[in-house]
Structure 1
């Protein structure tokens, strides 16, 4: 089991103990243990990040307190064929891997059509099929590669494709498509993990974390991620992240989640999806969905802190071939060879050469 204290930022107090003490004083301790008050806070030291629990864990005694996270009838009649401002949306390639099951974790990986090597690395390492987890790759269309994509899906059966062009400034379509797919096609998932295809997930540790450090019955109002606070809006023409004042008039973005790895509870998925369908398109998906929209629907992000393996630590682990300790994610933008090497380390397999 992972040590929750690792979720605290350096210098933070042992917040779980403080939380229990506060609950004892307020008379809520027994209710928390038996029925599920908000989960223990996962804190960072930044004053911009909420210091109180932002989510609620579902436990055996409080199932009736937390009804179904959503019902599809709350959506407009034409919602299924709409993707923000795309009115003829459809899934070009689709699957029903949930099959009315309730997986602990649904992993939805953003991938470009041409990123076949990245998808193969994931399939061969942390994305291998296992009980309790479902892995899918989400892509848009690329006419030149469509036949190749369809052949790949015939072999692996793990691609979901929407009928919008796969392009750099269409990332928000892909993110909202992921939320749509989870909402319509896997409503029983306890947790939804949105990922990029150059990320490492310590899958065994992740399933252990969700089952024991959180709850195997799920949570409510959860957005767990690598938090970004006080990020400046890029105005320089040299920046690939340039945003004009017309696109976003503010000077700083709201607190948001770095988009490479975000854990959602299903009710958070639905709330953000429903709001995204109403709002104007903004192309930086993590800012838009986990920042602007999360603020509108009153959802608070919870930081992962030290459960992310930082680049410096990863380098030391790969060079010395020793244990990386407790972690859930590698750093963002990992090379394929490093993903393979780290997987061999965490699964204690013989060390191969990846040259």
Structure 2
């Protein structure tokens, strides 16, 4: 579990000084290495603040929209005539929504969206699916019919292609800032990921804070990742696209939990920064660094592929597997249904 951040409470002077020195050294060596802790764990410097009754009202609101350009509503990075082709408003001005979930989905992934609606998308949280534009009128009509049925699609006026994923990610930040400012947390995820939504809601309310947080980016981070230059790589990036040899620390994009102030900071940076097509690197790496934000690791809260296979293939109650919040990406619809059944079986009867 993540520890709630406490800044020196109850520590004698010398351990506090040692902890401060360790944090400074870690920050200094951050781009070159990681600082090991006991038994090979990593020491994570406090990087976020939990809101509690004593400090929640003293902090400024997370969305100072007056700081954005007058043309911001119709701009998405370098798209100057942006609008939402499909839109929904499930937050309805609520100031008490604990969790908003925005799922990156491709237009043709109808069955994946249905699977999420039938499993972990159910509950007190709000789930929306983010899409780009399509060229086929028949496909667009099918999406509009799906949206009339479920009212959970958000579609932007940019083509839904692989190299346009950053538009989709930033569109999600934009939508949150404009249409759901009351959400305490935002989860960005993909449509082939399992979210243990009951455990996640408990985690937010009990292990973090039901009042929310500030400066929180909770994810599975990558540090010191080299830019791929090989023409054989799906992730090839030319020196013109990204001159550096190493990316900044960034998140695996399949599960990123943001506090609302981070949503605004990243969105504002995106609106004034040149486009880069790998959204995980650009949004949670480059833009986060520009906003002076750091990532907090999920650690053991993510299931491994081996644990997924054990849970999917076994009939016991999996009591030896502790609390988890996410399954890994690239899960099949059958695996997601089975994991949801396991989660339901493990929860105490109400």
Pairwise TM-score range, normalised by the shorter structure: 0.7 to 0.9
Moved more, 67-76 or 108-117: 67-76
1:59 matched to 2:45? no
> 2:67 corresponds to which residue?
74
Distance 1:50 1:167, change over 3 A: farther
Q: In the alignment, which of 84, 89, 94 is matched to residue 77 of structure 2?
A: 84
Mapping of residues 159-170 of structure 1, within 5 Å = 159-170=153-164
Give 1:20 shift.
5.7
Instruction: Report the Cα distance in structure 2 between the residues aligned to 1:167 and 1:178, rounded to whole angstroms.
Output: 16
Instruction: Report the Cα distance in structure 1 between the residues aligned to 2:172 and 2:270, rounded to whole angstroms.
Output: 12
Mapping of residues 5-16 of structure 1, within 5 Å = 7=2
Coordinate RMSD, CA, aligned? 1.9
1:341 matched to 2:334? no
1:208 matched to 2:194? no
Give 1:223 shift.
0.3
Give 1:72 shift.
1.1
1:257 matched to 2:266? no
1:173 matched to 2:167? yes
Instruction: Report the Cα distance in structure 1 between the residues aligned to 2:77 and 2:206, rounded to whole angstroms.
Output: 36
> 2:24 corresponds to which residue?
none
> 2:107 corresponds to which residue?
113
> 2:39 corresponds to which residue?
none
Instruction: Report the Cα distance in structure 2 between the residues aligned to 1:69 and 1:47, rounded to whole angstroms.
Output: 32
1:317 matched to 2:318? no
Mapping of residues 76-225 of structure 1, within 5 Å = 76-102=69-95, 103-128=97-122, 130-131=123-124, 133-144=125-136, 145-225=139-219
Instruction: Report the Cα distance in structure 2 between the residues aligned to 1:343 and 1:325, rounded to whole angstroms.
Output: 15
Give 1:251 shift.
1.3
> 1:36 corresponds to which residue?
none
Q: In the alignment, which of 224, 228, 232 is matched to residue 234 of structure 1?
A: 228
TM-score (norm 2): 0.87
Give 1:23 shift.
1.9
Instruction: Report the Cα distance in structure 2 between the residues aligned to 1:311 and 1:181, rounded to whole angstroms.
Output: 32
> 2:23 corresponds to which residue?
none
Give 1:26 shift.
6.5
Deviations 1:146-166 (A, max 9, x none): 000000000000000001000
Moved more, 292-301 or 324-333: 324-333
> 1:291 corresponds to which residue?
285
Distance 1:244 1:300, change over 3 A: same
Instruction: Report the Cα distance in structure 1 between the residues aligned to 2:87 and 2:57, rounded to whole angstroms.
Output: 33
Mapping of residues 261-280 of structure 1, within 5 Å = 261-280=255-274
CA contact (8 A) 1:97 1:134 kept: yes
Unaligned runs of 5+ in 1: 8-14, 28-44, 350-355
Deviations 1:78-100 (A, max 9, x none): 00000000000000001111001
TM-score (norm 1): 0.86
